[in-house]
Structure 1
Amino acid sequence: MNKSVLSKTGLALAVVLFVSFIIVVNENLRSFRVDLTEDKLYTLSEGTQNILSGLQEPITLRLYYAERVAQALPAVKSYGQRVQELLREYQRASGGMIRLKIIDPVPYSNDEHRADQYGLQSIPIEGEEDPLYFGLAGTNLLNGLEIIRFFQPEKEDTLEYDLTRLIFQLSDVQRKNIGVLSSLSLDGEQYDPLKGEVISDAGSKPWPVMDQLRMMFDVSMLPDDIRRIPTSLDVLMVIHPKSLTDSTLYAIDQYVLSGGKLITFVDPFAEVDVPEKDPENPMAALTAQRGSNMPELFNAWGFERDGQFVVADRKFARKVDFGARTGNEPIDYVLWLGLNDGSLNMSEKITSRLKRINVATSGFFKQLDGATTQMTPLVSSSDEAMLVDKRVVQFRNDPVGLLTRYEAGTKQYPLAVRVTGDVKTAFPDGAKNNMGDLQKMPDHLDMANEPIDIIAVADVDMIDDQFWVQVQDFYGQDLAFNTSNNLDFVYNAIEDLTGTDGLISVRSRAGFSRPFILVNEIEREAERRYRATERELEQRLQDTEQKIARMQVQRSGTGEQILTAEQQKEINEARLLAERTEAELRTVKGNLRQDLDALEAVVKFVNIGVVPILVGILALITGWLRLRKRTHGRFNVNKTGS
């Protein structure tokens, strides 16, 4: 048979077999996939699978997606496919408890009307007559409704968490009861806890952290003079306890000893606690008490928070712009820290999968000698941290001076801890009643019924929204982007203390930008040298200008300005020195900018150009070896033939 015919027949059979293989794989292995991403972003987390497997009643998810309109936006189109794939994965993993409906809300249809009734957002797209719908409405058998108004591609890293939280809120899981006791107006001035909403726009609104907590738990605010903590609470949160009475501290003591779980946030200098200004006493705001502590309880539990110092850490310093004080440029502010996973306890479930915690002018804890409890650090500084007297921040905060005078230490400081163990009461005789007499509760405990389990954080500012969330306006909707795991830390702490896995493993999937550690260290060291030189030159310039001013104001008894030739010469020399100093200062700033630009260029080259260059070199080498082998083979054939 002709070899050409055999070749063509073989090629046709190969094509048929290939197409058949694709059809078989597509029909029978549609759910099969391999996730090669580092964090397994396309694989449902253990927490999601547990929640799906525990569903007792069906949940219906309706994805309203105008696919035709999305064709004009490649990013949205790609993300739309990602959302649909993940929702189908939820449906498969739920064992039939998730009912998925993908709906195209055609204009003027019942589907569009229903999407509007659910509160989903329609976005006008330039060049398109129809708006873009890309939202989700989830319902259960009890007419419960939870929605995602619009899927933002920028929030893809939180997609699984947002979907799982929606399903969790629709499930029949019993919500935990959280009690909050605070000296701060966390619930604003016009919040109605019965209606769960703000009465009017007047007055301050609830902190975002309260809104977020209420999405997951039943939250109630407790008066700061409470005399008994309700036993129905699953967790008590004490935030910034500035001036709690002994009776309230006694109530907390007995609650913990009876098995209650506690999370407390204390602070040597809470920046969020801004005192009101007194026009008649301008110094009142400076001297106002902005720290909080519970030494009576902490000492009884075997640890303490130092009341004098805050923790500075150049390694984890955040960039902050203080305006004119820093030349209108952001610098490393060593008292505001962005702590990464290197400072988080990877052995504790609460922090093992978090990536970043932001704190500000944080304190630290230390265990007392002879303590009967065990103190486990959850969040710590680096081993290069140093302590700064809080009065430096309170009366004369100098960010540049803190950076230039920074002296790296050799010790880590625990910023958040978990304390467990057997303890005695801090109030063996009870607390004073309204008449001033010591009085015990009827069920007073001298010893804990079981080992206590509490979490203490030496920073209150971390729950302020500026340290964990960034809100942007999106067609009239406030869109929140988490900038840290601060809120996740609070969620995880509540769930772990109450013995529920909840969404701990799902929250860890929410990613943040991964810093170039080596690059950041080089930039930090270069800026430190620059700031020190800049500070020295600015001081020299200031001294020179003051010297010139002093020489120019020397006057005779008649009031006329008299300058001798020698004084004029000194002034001229001082002015020349000032000009040279200004030139040096400009040179230093220019050199820093050039160094950082050069470093940026190197990083871009390494990340963008190195791999293609290596592939090209490898291709050239491979081609050269093949050519050499072919040439060598021909040479041997010719040699043999001859």
Structure 2
Amino acid sequence: MSKQVSKSFLKASGGVAGLLILFAIIIAANVIISRVRVRVDLTGEKLYTLSEGSKAILAKLEQPVTLKLFASSSSPAMPPVLKNYARQVEDLLREYVVASNGRITLEKYDPVPDSDAEEWAQKYGLTGQPMDIFGPPVYLGLVAQMGDAEATIPSFDPQAEALLEYTITRLIYRVCHPEKPVVGVISSLQVLGTRAPPFPMPGQPKPQSQAPWLIFQDLRDDYTFRELQPSVERIDDDIKTLLVIHPKDLSEKTLYAIDQFVLRGGQLMALLDPLCVAEMETGGGANPFGMPRTSSNLEKLLSAWGVRYDENKVVADMRAISRVRMGDGGRIEESPVWLSLSRANTSAKDVLTSGIESIMLPYAGAFSAESTKDLAVTPLITSSESAGLVNSFSAQLGASTVRSEFHSGGVPLAIAVRLSGTFKTAFPDGAPRDSSGSNTNEAPSSAEQSL
């Protein structure tokens, strides 16, 4: 087997909010960019620097890209606040030109009424906004072109200024990659939504379709998400990024498929939960013989990679307390297991997390691993030093119970980590045998891959 780059991203956290934020980060980082840092004003004259994520995308441009900015800057109908924002957009675009080493060209057009520029703006699908009933439409949009490929931002919204750089970089990536990358998804949750059967059972209420989670809805313009069943025995070759979200009771063959995917250089994002809020909200994890099980794990793979993770423990952090309402209409309490984390809890040097200002993670788990000569372990999100692990059952009983069991370890706990380097297989004896006792058709895995 040829030696290729292998990377894996692990996150132990409960709840929809943490899942969505970290999902957005890893998708953007592995396939596009991380959620980029908001622009930084260096001089007071609105000269901005780009994030490392954007620079990484620009460095990989293989063909020239033309950016066409359409701004009605000369129009009296354009409000001053929008004119100021148009200048900010132009300033930032010029930073892209500088950072691209000649691979990006910026063109500016003023689409006055009945002009060629306005006609082209309309052909590109840019949205003119009327400022009053009788006034001409005002334009502030962007077109990116590379060869025959084309992508547009129909109009810039000043209220979305914090996402300006992310939006522009995403546009550049989209025009450079007109074919959507395929992202595989394995999950015990209905993250990609469900379709109601066209013919319900007689006498039964008609089931309702369920929409995909918002993050998938937002990113489906850039990616093709392919749902893989938890019983999948092979990851398709055209899948370069695999999301494993809250995996429960995966078979040996499925674990082997994930193992082989990593060894062949695939990008893996594993989202593990000691206490999954998303599952509790939907009534999942029901167990008629006892307490519902809302934890997930990839124990066999983690063990092979030297990662320790206890699916029955959640992080309590006395410096990251959140005010939350317990139950429907319940009391508000200060919970140390609902973590309100800031930039101080993230890796400022890593492109994956350098743009995070704040994040809330309910019932987060923790990983423990040390770098070796073969495998580098990079903590991406950590607790403070005033943190410890408590039983996940106790964590649901309220802040007073958590405090009674709490013992600080005096060191930060790793909530999200990235692994990169030489991965050892979790199946040194080859593929699991099927029920007939013969090996599966897939070839035995290589013991390691090189970075």
The offset of 1:439, in angstroms, is 2.5
Q: Deviations over 1:63-101 (max 9, x none)?
A: 243653554x33223212222333345456653742423
SS, match of residue 184 in structure 1: coil
The answer to whether residue 191 in structure 2 is matched with residue 186 in structure 1 is: yes
243, 246, 252: which one aligns with 1:240 = 246
User: Paired residue for 1:425?
Assistant: 426
SS, match of residue 181 in structure 1: strand
1:383-462 map, 5 Å: 383-393=385-395, 396-399=396-399, 402=402, 409-419=409-419, 420-426=421-427, 428=429, 430-433=431-434, 435=435, 437=437, 439-445=439-445, 447-451=446-450
SS, match of residue 223 in structure 1: coil
49, 71, 74: which one aligns with 1:43 = 49
CA contact (8 A) 1:64 1:115 kept: no
Following the alignment from structure 2 to structure 1, what is the Cα–Cα distance between the partners of residues 128 and 290?
49
User: Paired residue for 2:166?
Assistant: 161
The answer to whether residue 321 in structure 2 is matched with residue 317 in structure 1 is: yes
User: Paired residue for 2:382?
Assistant: 380
CA contact (8 A) 2:390 2:405 kept: no
**For the structure 1 residues 46 and 290, does the alpha-carbon distance in structure 2 shift closer, same or farther, using more than 3 Å as the test?**
closer
* Greater RCO (Cα-Cα under 8 Å, separation 6 or more): 2
The answer to whether residue 282 in structure 2 is matched with residue 272 in structure 1 is: no
1:108-119 map, 5 Å: 115=121, 118-119=124-125
**For the structure 1 residues 125 and 388, does the alpha-carbon distance in structure 2 shift closer, same or farther, using more than 3 Å as the test?**
farther
CA contact (8 A) 1:301 1:371 kept: no
SS, match of residue 211 in structure 2: coil
Following the alignment from structure 1 to structure 2, what is the Cα–Cα distance between the partners of residues 185 and 302?
30
CA contact (8 A) 2:345 2:381 kept: yes
CA contact (8 A) 1:140 1:171 kept: yes
CA contact (8 A) 1:179 1:219 kept: yes
The answer to whether residue 151 in structure 2 is matched with residue 146 in structure 1 is: yes
Following the alignment from structure 1 to structure 2, what is the Cα–Cα distance between the partners of residues 42 and 319?
36
**For the structure 1 residues 427 and 246, does the alpha-carbon distance in structure 2 shift closer, same or farther, using more than 3 Å as the test?**
farther
1:316-395 map, 5 Å: 316-322=320-326, 324-326=329-331, 332-346=334-348, 348-352=350-354, 354-367=356-369, 375-393=377-395
* Unaligned ranges ≥5, structure 2: 1-40, 197-207
- Give the letter for the 1:291 counterpart: S
- Give the letter for the 1:315 counterpart: R
- Give the letter for the 1:304 counterpart: R
Following the alignment from structure 1 to structure 2, what is the Cα–Cα distance between the partners of residues 400 and 130?
62
SS, match of residue 265 in structure 1: strand
Following the alignment from structure 1 to structure 2, what is the Cα–Cα distance between the partners of residues 264 and 362?
14
Q: Deviations over 1:410-465 (max 9, x none)?
A: 232111123344524336263242x36362444112x52425x8xxxxxxxxxxxx
CA contact (8 A) 2:370 2:377 kept: no
Following the alignment from structure 2 to structure 1, what is the Cα–Cα distance between the partners of residues 210 and 275?
22
User: Paired residue for 1:25?
Assistant: none
The offset of 1:381, in angstroms, is 0.9
Following the alignment from structure 1 to structure 2, what is the Cα–Cα distance between the partners of residues 228 and 399?
44
- Give the letter for the 1:178 counterpart: V
Following the alignment from structure 1 to structure 2, what is the Cα–Cα distance between the partners of residues 369 and 86?
38
The offset of 1:301, in angstroms, is 2.0
The answer to whether residue 213 in structure 2 is matched with residue 207 in structure 1 is: yes
User: Paired residue for 1:304?
Assistant: 308
Q: Which moved more, 1:363-372 or 1:49-58?
A: 363-372
- Give the letter for the 2:267 counterpart: K
- Give the letter for the 1:151 counterpart: F
CA contact (8 A) 1:246 1:432 kept: no
CA contact (8 A) 1:312 1:386 kept: yes
User: Paired residue for 1:102?
Assistant: 109
Following the alignment from structure 2 to structure 1, what is the Cα–Cα distance between the partners of residues 218 and 65?
25
Following the alignment from structure 1 to structure 2, what is the Cα–Cα distance between the partners of residues 121 and 70?
15
TM-score of the pair, normalised by structure 1:
0.53
How many residue pairs end up in the alignment? Answer: 396
CA contact (8 A) 1:91 1:100 kept: no
225, 233, 237: which one aligns with 2:231 = 225
CA contact (8 A) 2:300 2:426 kept: no
**For the structure 1 residues 99 and 412, does the alpha-carbon distance in structure 2 shift closer, same or farther, using more than 3 Å as the test?**
closer
- Give the letter for the 2:426 counterpart: T
175, 178, 203: which one aligns with 1:170 = 175
**For the structure 1 residues 225 and 403, does the alpha-carbon distance in structure 2 shift closer, same or farther, using more than 3 Å as the test?**
same
SS, match of residue 320 in structure 1: strand
* Unaligned ranges ≥5, structure 1: 1-33, 192-201, 454-642
The offset of 1:218, in angstroms, is 4.8
CA contact (8 A) 1:430 1:438 kept: no
Following the alignment from structure 2 to structure 1, what is the Cα–Cα distance between the partners of residues 42 and 372?
51
**For the structure 1 residues 113 and 223, does the alpha-carbon distance in structure 2 shift closer, same or farther, using more than 3 Å as the test?**
farther
Counting strand residues as a fraction of each chain, which structure ranks higher? Answer: 2
Q: Which has the larger radius of gyration?
A: 1
The offset of 1:233, in angstroms, is 3.0
Following the alignment from structure 1 to structure 2, what is the Cα–Cα distance between the partners of residues 75 and 407?
53
Counting helix residues as a fraction of each chain, which structure ranks higher? Answer: 1
